[in-house]
A and B are shown apart, each in its own frame.
Chain A
């Protein structure tokens, strides 16, 4: 058979593609359940950390999530709720454009939307070591019990010289990652506005 002929080329290319893709789809369907489970667990852990609920391992996280968190639908938006120090608190899954790609995370606020209770990230594509540091504890911890400024927003700045008491609603930016810091500020403020629109009337 002519190995350089048209028919041979088409048949061989087709069969090789078919075999490899068939194996891939088998592997994919065998692992999908595990991957979805991992993603769900990841999201649940982020919701718990945003509310400041401490857990030691994956099992404890799942149990705590079931026990303490419920979801509530307000005007077609799904929110998570729980009680933090006796008060009802809400969390929203946020999503927005970072410097390189989508940033997804959880933002938890008190019911009057005056204070951020906490923030955790689910996924991002920012540069490791630079913008990627939004996923580091020192950055995320800045959002813990953060009072918002008069406009109900936060500002991410390099204003490190000011006294801590003058820094209502201010978060330290990431050095050498100005674009990510700016994009992140925008995403958070957008979702704060959305949360106050959703919860404001209550």
Chain B
């Protein structure tokens, strides 16, 4: 059992990562990653939704007729997304304001539907929950990395705290010229494309090397 959980985690976080292997959920990876705070909350929302929609789909898999299963999966996903949206609007209004339409767009994230269809439909509930949570975590990891680079170079800050002052990172190392200006390209969606491309390249290279050795 533990071995199985570990295999699933490894697959979702690395060898079958939703972002850089399956190339799913790219739309939000481009849209929200110019700022770490939004990225964190968006990914947390996604982890919650993938986890619980997987659990629910798995629990209901024996009573759902095959021909309407997709539509029921969508209903379940939408259900959890609306719950997240309601909770944010009621208890964290500032964050809800900052994320605006992105929370609603979790519904269209292909990772959730993909996991429900590919995994939860044919596995027991608790393993499906774990699969959903780790898939979400795999998404979060890549997004946080992209957001870290984009926010650092675009705004010169991390989690909204300015860290590049007069060209110095954390006031220690002079890594930029003194009149550092944020890179506008980093704030715009195309930069996520470039960064994602570089990540896929690095990840694939490491994986291939690993394969050669074994």
On A, residues with C-beta under 8 Å from B are 3-4, 8-9, 12-13, 16-17, 20, 23-24, 27-28, 31, 34-35, 38-39, 41-42, 101, 123-125, 128-130, 175-176
Interface residues contributed by chain B, number (CB under 8 Å): 34
Is the CB–CB distance between A16 and B72 below 8 Å?
Answer: yes
- By a CB distance below 8 angstroms, the chain A residues around B76 are 20
A110 to B80 Cα, complex, angstroms: 47
Q: How far is the CB of B181 from chain A (nearest CB, A)?
A: 10
- Our pick among A28, A128, A129 for the contact of B86 (Cβ within 8 Å) is A28
Is the CB–CB distance between B66 and A12 below 8 Å?
Answer: no
List the one stretch of B96-104, B163-171, B199-207 in contact with chain A.
B96-104
Is the CB–CB distance between B187 and A13 below 8 Å?
Answer: no
A24 to B67 Cα, complex, angstroms: 25
17 contacts between A and B (CB under 8 A): A9-B68, A12-B63, A17-B75, A20-B75, A23-B79, A27-B83, A27-B86, A31-B87, A34-B91, A35-B86, A123-B100, A125-B101, A128-B34, A128-B35, A128-B98, A129-B154, A175-B184
Is the CB–CB distance between A176 and B98 below 8 Å?
Answer: no
Is the CB–CB distance between A35 and B184 below 8 Å?
Answer: no
A42 to B90 Cα, complex, angstroms: 12
A20 to B90 Cα, complex, angstroms: 20
- By a CB distance below 8 angstroms, the chain B residues around A39 are 93
Is the CB–CB distance between A9 and B83 below 8 Å?
Answer: no
- Our pick among A12, A38, A124 for the contact of B89 (Cβ within 8 Å) is A38
4 nearest CB pairs, A to B:
A129-B187, A129-B34, A38-B93, A31-B90
**Contacts A24-B83, A38-B93, A125-B101; is A4 near B65 (CB within 8 Å)?**
yes
